[in-house]
A and B are shown apart, each in its own frame.
Chain A
Amino acid sequence: MATVVRGKVETNRAYWTFITPAFALYLFVFAFPIILSFVLSVSNYSGGKMFGGDPWTLTGFDQYFKLANDSNFWLALKNNVYIVLISVFGQIPLAFLLAYVIFRKIVRWGEGWQAILYVPAIISVIVLGIMWKMIFASNGLLADIINALDTQTFLASLNGLLAGGFNVTDDFVQKLLAISDPRALTGFANPANDVKELILSMGYTAANLDVFRSDMVNLLAPKWTPDFLSHQDVAMIPILFVTLWVWTGMYIIMFHANMQKIDSQIIEAARIDGASELQVMWRVIVPNLSGVLANAAILCIAGSLNTFALIWAMTAGGPMNITQVLAIYMFQNAFIGVPNFPLANAISVFIVLFSFILIGLTLVVERRYGGRE
């Protein structure tokens, strides 16, 4: 009897010794900050010493009412919801389709595709953000690729015109203007006349047509200058694209691994009964993977509501807040300019609550509509 009691005491002591480091750190890093952020969000603490400095008190929920009337907050929330939506309804279906194509061996070399598509997820989003910023810039790679393609098309049309010989007639100029970029012509008062005079004044001859071609490319070929960041309705497109680009590969691996756990006899039986690949996917694989899909949606929601570093590197929420998201808005309120800690903490509380609401919703949907094997 005494040994049993001593054993229990020892087990109790060992239990606390073993779990305390983890539990204490968990409290330090998650639990206390959550409590602190709530307390500060209903206070007027404005920085400085919290104990023994300027006095501060609890003042109520006015920060939350301020947020409700803050157009920048709503813009950040809207942009953030876009990111959640592209994650849940972009990454997951796309990854599912690609995983299915690999799983059913519709394409060979499945492991290789997966290895390539996962690469972005391993690289720092700071590196990726700066890289994509340069690609989407007004003089960036995307513009160069599209303009190179447009120039090729223009040159092909121009060569078509020149096939009938180099002869600067009104008809030739009309056809030339027809293949030109309308924006390039806005500088001319009377394009048909002015362009003709310009070409004649340059004294091109049939012998130096290459000079003529390159001059026409410079003057008249379509030229696109990306300008995502000056319109609110398109500013998020690069960010949404990159979000999709970075994480889809991760979900492909997750879905593919779980598809392999499905009993292959069910699939073969369905195929023999005449089900098409699409029917197999929709009626066999999706119901079997509903739990995994719900998990993926939860990871997506938790990750995308907290997206910070990628956008920080690409736009930092700017210009003029048009690519603002919740985490950056929170950061700016706390660390840039005069700190507004109560407001920043109210945003922090909002992010935590909002992500739990969305995750709860996902679980309800899974429970209601998810397949049971």
Chain B
Amino acid sequence: MNTLKIALGWVGKAAAYAVMGLFSLMTIYPVIWLIYNSFKTNAQFMVDKISLPNEWILSNYVGAWTLGTFDMLIGNSVIFTVLSALGIILISVLAGFGFAKMQHKSTGPIYGSFVMGILLSITSLMVPLFIQVSQLDRLISDAFHAVGLFAGHDVHVFYNTGFGVILIYVGSGLPMAVYLCTEYIKSIPTSLVEAARIDGATYFSIFWRIILPMSTPIATTIAVINVPGLWNEFALINILVSDETLKTLPLGILRFNGQRSVDYGKQFAALVIGMAPMLIFYFAFRKQITAGVSGGAVKG
């Protein structure tokens, strides 16, 4: 009986390893396949998609880089991601301080609306959002034209500007970040704030000297969970900019979809360039990302 149990235990263990191994292989093999094929010649790829390159070449990368204007795309992605993440952190710590430490009758409904907002996906709002920003720009243009400024050309503030993109990126990250900050700042002892108030400190200096420094852990969490989403964002940037000089990496990668399909090498190299920055980010901040995901702070 005992032997049977032990034997069954071993079978179960072997099955568990097999299932785990199979799933991990299925997860990681396509990514590795993509990477090693980016070093293959087109000629080899046409006849053999499975094996490693006979000859490892770098020219796919050189070609893809020039064709894809990746320095500009990556530059834009870095600027949008960093500024949006900083904006999300600053604005949500400010609001979190207000909601958590200042008694106010408006906190219930306003904070509640942020928590509701966690469930809203901005993808479903891209059409009205596009109409809103483009019509606002028209109103602003008309106002300037009415007073004789910028006559003859359209003024853009929200649509097709870096400012507009960052504004909307910050807004879309706020519900989750405000929720995380508020709950976190609630755990900072109120006596600290009260003592500083009695000493005559203004709320602004309390924010600057106490709340912001003490919020570093939650700010880090917000940064690591937002950076991948901002970097990979596609649906909004796709409709918010038309100017080539404002496009980001995902938009640039999409240009390699199909049209240049005869040139597999460059296509693979472009895809690897597209995923490399976030893979590096993942390996650098895996612990923090995992902690953020554990709390359910990342939307699938």
Q: How far is the CB of B179 from chain A (nearest CB, A)?
A: 11
Do A116 and B28 touch across chains, with their CB atoms under 8 A apart? Answer: yes
Whether B150 is near chain A, meaning CB under 8 Å from some CB there, is no
Do B94 and A18 touch across chains, with their CB atoms under 8 A apart? Answer: yes
Whether B99 is near chain A, meaning CB under 8 Å from some CB there, is yes
Whether A22 is near chain B, meaning CB under 8 Å from some CB there, is yes
How many inter-chain residue pairs (CB < 8 Å) link A and B? Answer: 282
Whether B58 is near chain A, meaning CB under 8 Å from some CB there, is no
Whether B66 is near chain A, meaning CB under 8 Å from some CB there, is no
Whether B57 is near chain A, meaning CB under 8 Å from some CB there, is no
A26-B113, A113-B24, A302-B119 known; A313 vs B257 contact (CB < 8 Å): yes
Q: How far is the CB of B290 from chain A (nearest CB, A)?
A: 6
Closest to A41 in B: B128
Per-position contact with B for A30-42: 1 when CB-CB < 8 Å, else 0? Answer: 1111101100100
The B interface, classified by DSSP as helix, strand, loop or mixed, is helix
The A interface, classified by DSSP as helix, strand, loop or mixed, is helix
Whether A25 is near chain B, meaning CB under 8 Å from some CB there, is yes
Whether B49 is near chain A, meaning CB under 8 Å from some CB there, is yes
Taking CB atoms, residues of chain A closer than 8 Å to B239 are 331, 335
Do A18 and B124 touch across chains, with their CB atoms under 8 A apart? Answer: no
Whether A253 is near chain B, meaning CB under 8 Å from some CB there, is yes
Do B26 and A245 touch across chains, with their CB atoms under 8 A apart? Answer: yes
Contact of A300 among B167, B278, B300 (CB under 8 A): B300
In the bound assembly, the distance between CA atoms of A84 and B222 in angstroms comes to: 27
Residues 264 to 300 of chain B near chain A (Cβ within 8 Å): 267, 271, 274-275, 278-279, 281-282, 286, 289-291, 293-296, 298-300
Q: Interface extent on B, as a size class?
A: 35 or more
Taking CB atoms, residues of chain A closer than 8 Å to B235 are 308-309, 327
Whether A131 is near chain B, meaning CB under 8 Å from some CB there, is yes
Contact of B121 among A22, A87, A302 (CB under 8 A): A302
Taking CB atoms, residues of chain A closer than 8 Å to B12 are 106, 277
Whether B110 is near chain A, meaning CB under 8 Å from some CB there, is yes
Do A33 and B94 touch across chains, with their CB atoms under 8 A apart? Answer: no
Taking CB atoms, residues of chain A closer than 8 Å to B204 are 14
In the bound assembly, the distance between CA atoms of A348 and B103 in angstroms comes to: 37
Contact of B174 among A22, A116, A296 (CB under 8 A): A22
In the bound assembly, the distance between CA atoms of A106 and B14 in angstroms comes to: 9
Whether A262 is near chain B, meaning CB under 8 Å from some CB there, is no
Do B31 and A123 touch across chains, with their CB atoms under 8 A apart? Answer: yes
Whether A65 is near chain B, meaning CB under 8 Å from some CB there, is no
Per-position contact with B for A1-36: 1 when CB-CB < 8 Å, else 0? Answer: 000000100111011011101110110111111101
**19 A-B Cβ contacts within 8 A?**
A10-B202, A10-B203, A11-B102, A18-B95, A29-B167, A30-B120, A34-B128, A114-B290, A117-B27, A125-B234, A127-B275, A130-B254, A251-B300, A305-B124, A306-B124, A309-B235, A312-B234, A348-B126, A352-B125
